[in-house]
Amino acid sequence: MATERKPKSSKESVRGKIEERFVYQDDEVIDKAFDWRQFRRLFAYMIPYAKQMLPLIILMTVLGTVTKLAVPYLTSLAIDRAIVPENGQTSLTLLYGITAAVLVLYLIQWASGVYRIKYTNIIGQKVIYDLRADLFKHIQKLSFNFFDKRPAGSVLVRVTNDVNSLQELFTNGVVNLMIDCVQLAGIVVILLLINWKLGLAVMITVPIMFLISTKLRQKIRIAWQEVRMKNSRINSHLNESIQGIRVTQAYTQERENMRYFDSMNLSSKKSWDKASAMNQGFGPLIEITGGIGTFVLFVLGVYLIQTGELTIGLLVAFSNYVGNFWDPINRLGQMYNQLLVAMASSERIFEFIDEEPNIADKLGAKPIPAITGGIRFNQVVFEYEKGRPALKGIDLDVRPGQSIALVGHTGSGKSTIINLLSRFYDPSRGSVVIDGQDIREVTVQSLRSQIGVVLQDTFIFSGTIRDNIRFGRLDATDEEVEAAARAVDAHDFIMKLPAAYNTEVEERGNVLSMGQRQLLSFARALLANPRILILDEATASIDTETELKIQEALKVLLKGRTSFIVAHRLSTIRSADKIIVLDHGEIKETGTHRELMEQKGIYYGLVEAQFRYL
Ligand SMILES: Nc1ncnc2c1ncn2[C@@H]1O[C@H](COP(=O)(O)OP(=O)(O)OP(=O)(O)O)[C@@H](O)[C@H]1O
């Protein structure tokens, strides 16, 4: 790999560093032996469909092969019996008959080919569909800690590139493998039947061919895998660049970013050139080996004709069979490599599928009944990484319906507390208890469905405004959606949009302002009607009018629910029932605004600082 060797120049060193940014542990060129377990697991995906269609595919394959292999034999008959028969009497009738038979055989061969390809493609597509669905379904279940470790681009590349690389195997690969095996076996039998001496002599070149095939192709495969890996990196970088395009443009880093991209692009092109050059050298080598076989065939063939052991027609048939012999061998070598590449891809796919979500239902976990909203944190310690506690023994008691404001410096542990409450992570020590039940003992679905989360960076999905609000509760009627929007005062701005509730918004909701997105997310949460509400208040400043609207909407949203707010606005904090002041993962102060101001501690300092900046 380019990044492994010592860079020679500063330019190369920069390139090395750039590439490193997009290298993931699981990205390395895989050069492993064939793994049967993996193979069986992959092909298990075919079983449900193979049962229905495999008999037909086998029938078509055998039909195609038999008709193909019959042609050279008929040719030999045409030569030996119709064109130059031993008795010297040319028979045109026989020649026409044989020609007609050959035509019919070609037609059968063509028709069986069409159906064989059709059925294998159907199986292939179904397998890919299932595999992709399994992968997506599983990725959705994976816990936050899985995504903490991997950039989104890397996950994306796996779902797209690795699955696509299996597509080729399941459509063309499997069909070719079957045809080639049947054809090879048929040719070997025929060659030995026609003349075993000549058959064996010609097949002497097979081991040489195989050796070249496997050894050389192994090198070529690694070269192509490197190409794939470089392309993966381009894709990951592309993903990151598009996500961050606003920052890039705001900091006018387009040229620098282009340099990054260029370096990767060039590296990909170089590895493609290398792999392609190797590939080009391979073909002629196979042809030379095939040439040796043909040479042996004719030298020995002519000798056998002279000794009367072979006829001219049979030599021609023999040469046709031998011609058909090299292609499957060549393709089988290719196929073996394709299989190894597919194994590498499936290994990466199964690695994801096997990744157990670390937040999952315990055996025998029961749904939590309707939550009233009493929450306790008992001596909760939490570490994202071992040895670096983000929370150091949190004790907290919240009564149903209370609103809690979490305040503290950046990195003090506010988001971590709300992450534990929704059970996105489990505490390293201690417990989080809702209505007297440890949340690890209840089903995740029943818990999360009663907790509403409104994040700072409100995510708007592509779809209509109505769909986005309805995301809170999919079975809500249009009237309920509208009522939720009215309650948080979002109705007016929605009605001013080109198609009101049916206005299409793009992914991340770029056509909406920050405040509008906040209001939409409030409507979404209100519609879900959760018993516990978690809100990460947006830090971005918005105009006073929208600020007032949001404050009013917030009152509606919080009414009658237990709520945790990572609060940044003084107005929100002041109206909270209890303020928790965090510092370096510990609760340092608790009380109402008035009580904490009188203490003149950390909270007092924070409020003072905020006023200074306002
Ligand atoms: N996914 C993560 N992996 C590792 N460490 C993390 C992760 N998320 C947060 N941390 C660390 O945990 C500590 C607490 O972070 P947390 O996000 O809870 O702080 P916060 O008070 O919400 O900060 P902010 O106000 O900036 O959002 C920080 O030191 C942070 O670096």
Alpha carbon nearest to ligand 1 atom 3, residue: 384
Q: Which atom of ligand 1 is nearest to the CA of 412?
A: 21
Nearest atom, ligand 1, residue 406 CA: 21
Which residue's CA is the nearest one to ligand 1's atom 11?
390
Q: Judging by beta carbons within 10 Å of its beta carbon (0-12, 13-18, 19+), is residue 446 exposed, middle or buried?
A: middle
Residue 211 CA to chain centroid, in angstroms?
35
Residue 554 included in any domain: no
Ligand 1 mean position, distance from CA 602 (Å): 19
Identity of the amino acid at 499: A
Residue 354 parent element (H or E) = helix 312-354
Averages of pLDDT over runs of 10 residues in the chain (614 residues) are 40 49 49 73 85 86 89 87 75 87 93 89 88 88 79 73 81 77 88 87 77 76 81 80 83 85 91 85 74 85 88 86 79 75 80 83 86 90 90 91 89 90 91 92 90 80 87 87 87 87 74 82 87 78 68 79 84 85 91 89 83 50
Number of domains in the chain: 1
- List C-alpha distances in Å: 217 to 39, 178, 181, 280, 374: 20, 20, 19, 12, 65
H or E element at residue 467 = helix 465-470
**Distance (Å) from CA 381 to ligand 1 centroid:** 14
* CA atoms of 585 and 382, how far apart (whole Å): 9
Q: Which ligand 1 atom sits nearest the alpha carbon of residue 148?
A: 1
Query: Residue 132 belongs to a domain with what CATH number?
Result: 1.20.1560.10
Q: Answer whether residue 271 is part of any domain.
A: yes
Residue nearest to atom 24 of ligand 1 (CA): 410
Helix, strand, coil percentages in the chain from 3-state DSSP, rounded to 5? 65, 10, 25
CA of 386 to the centre of ligand 1 (A): 14
**Separation of alpha carbons 563 and 579, rounded Å:** 12
**What is the CB neighbour count within 10 angstroms for residue 279?**
14
In the reported structure, the alpha carbon of residue 595 is separated from the centroid of ligand 1 by a whole-number distance in angstroms of 28
Residue whose CA is at the smallest distance from ligand 1 atom 5: 384
Q: Give the pairing type, strands 578-583 and 586-591.
A: antiparallel
Q: How far is the CA of 521 from the centre of ligand 1 (A)?
A: 23
**CA distances (Å), 83 to each of 80, 91, 316, 349, 438, in order?**
6, 7, 13, 60, 92
User: From ligand 1's centre to the CA of 384, what distance in Å?
Assistant: 9
The answer to whether the complex's ipTM is over 0.85 is yes
Ligand 1 center–CA 412 separation, angstroms: 7
Identify the residue whose C-alpha is closest to ligand 1 atom 28.
411
Find out whether 346 and 38 touch, Cβ atoms under 8 Å: yes
Pocket test for ligand 1, best of 358, 384, 539, 588 (most atoms within 8 A of CB): 384
Question: In this structure, is residue 202 part of a structural domain?
Answer: yes
Report yes or no on 526 lying in a domain.
no
Residue 391 belongs to some domain of the structure: no
CA-384 nearest atom, ligand 1: 4
Q: Which mutation among 414, 420, 566 tests ligand 1's pocket best, with the greatest number of atoms within 8 A of CB?
A: 414
Phi and psi of 319, rounded to 5°? Answer: -65, -35
Q: How far is the CA of 414 from the centre of ligand 1 (A)?
A: 8
| Domain extent at residue 144 | 33-354
Say how many Å lie between the CA of residue 567 and the centre of ligand 1: 15
Residue 464 lies in a domain: no
The closest-lying atom of ligand 1 relative to the alpha carbon of residue 413 is 18
pTM for the complete prediction? Answer: 0.70
Give the position, in ligand 1's atom list, of the atom nearest the Cα of 582: 21
**Protein residue with least CA distance to atom 6, ligand 1:** 384
**Cα 46 to middle of ligand 1, angstroms:** 45
- Tell how far the Cα of 408 is from the centroid of ligand 1, in angstroms: 12
Q: What pLDDT, on a 0 to 100 scale, did the predictor assign at position 613?
A: 47
pLDDT at 255: 86
Note whether residue 468 is domain-resident: no
Q: Are 438 and 432 in contact (CB under 8 A)?
A: yes
* Distant-in-sequence, close-in-space partners of 494: CB < 8 Å, separation ≥ 6: 465, 485, 500, 501, 503
List the residue whose alpha carbon is closest to atom 31 of ligand 1.
411
- CA–CA gap between residue 311 and residue 241 (Å, rounded): 70
- Length of the chain, in residues: 614
Residue 366 carries which DSSP code? B
Using the mean position of ligand 1's atoms as its centre, give its distance from the Cα of residue 383 in Å: 10
Cβ-contact 533, 475 below 8 angstroms: no
* Cα(392) to centroid(ligand 1), Å: 13
Q: Whose CA is nearest to atom 4 of ligand 1?
A: 384
Identify the pLDDT of residue 270.
93
| Alpha carbon of 411 to ligand 1 centroid (Å) | 5
Q: Is residue 579 part of a domain?
A: no
Residues with CB under 6 A from ligand 1: 148, 384-385, 390, 408, 410-416
Minimum CA distance residue for ligand 1 atom 30: 411
Atom of ligand 1 nearest to the CA of 417: 18
pLDDT in tens, 531-571: 898 988 765 556 667 777 777 777 777 888 899 988 777 77
Q: Whose CA is nearest to atom 25 of ligand 1?
A: 410
Ordered strands of the 429-434 beta sheet: 388-398, 375-385, 429-434, 437-438
Query: Phi and psi dihedrals of 536, rounded to 5?
Result: -100, 105
